[in-house]
Chain A
Amino acid sequence: DAMVIQNPRYQVTQFGKPVTLSCSQTLNHNVMYWYQQKSSQAPKLLFHYYDKDFNNEADTPDNFQSRRPNTSFCFLDIRSPGLGDAAMYLCATSRRLTSGSGYTQYFGPGTRLTVL
């Protein structure tokens, strides 16, 4: 089945130790998103790629970086994780449609990051 896959599902890292989360998709969608979701809060968009074009949200900390080497894969790098970065990280994809017609975002299962 076409889907959005995230690895690992659970990640434990130490304070300040770089970590990379991965996302892959078989939907061949143009757009890939990374969200951060803390407990009992709505997901917060960190950045998204439209094809190779990177779009960073204004309030995304510099500590968060992303790479999209090809259509199928997107990575989230956290350079120096702090305790406040412990969260669920959600990847999503969508096929970009013309304005006014909307689209559906397809979400992965998420990676739960713990920072010790």
Chain B
Amino acid sequence: KNEVEQSPQNLTAQEGEFITINCSYSVGISALHWLQQHPGGGIVSLFMLSSGKKKHGRLIATINIQEKHSSLHITASHPRDSAVYICAVSRNYGGSQGNLIFGKGTKLSVKP
């Protein structure tokens, strides 16, 4: 079983729809990251969370530490949101502190 699980693996939405991507993890973490990767491109860090909720524009990320679960929401989705969204966690022990454990990503396609 992967330490970081994302769902769904693939998601197709119509422009304007509200989108939710889920992430659950099974290890102790110091932070959870949501990353965005466009086709053929590098990775952009969207959020880093250790508790609660963060909002940036149309993106909202929440985390429930007790349930070891996080969600990424996109409101009023747009075709330019089409990308792979990756959940990653950084473990809360020393030594390898800072190394990320990645989920397999959710491929989002928003149709006009």
Contact = CB atoms under 8 A, between A and B. Distances in A.
A48 interface: yes
B44 interface: yes
Contacts of A45: 99-100
A43 B97 contact: no
A106 B15 CA distance: 29
| Centre residue among A31, A92, A94, A102 by max chain B CB count within 10 A | A102
A38 interface: no
B90 A112 contact: no
A94 B40 CA distance: 23
Interface string A104-116: 1111111010000
B60 to A, nearest CB: 18
Interface size class for chain B? 20 to 34
Given A42-B102, A110-B41, A104 B30 contact: no
A109 B86 CA distance: 16
Interface string A29-50: 0010100000001110100101
B45 A106 contact: yes
B86 A42 contact: yes
Interface of A: 6, 31, 33, 41-43, 45, 48, 50, 55, 90, 92, 94, 96, 99-110, 112
24 contacts: A33-B99, A41-B104, A42-B86, A42-B102, A42-B105, A43-B100, A43-B102, A50-B98, A90-B42, A94-B98, A96-B98, A100-B30, A100-B50, A102-B31, A102-B48, A103-B90, A105-B45, A107-B35, A107-B42, A107-B43, A107-B44, A107-B45, A108-B42, A109-B41
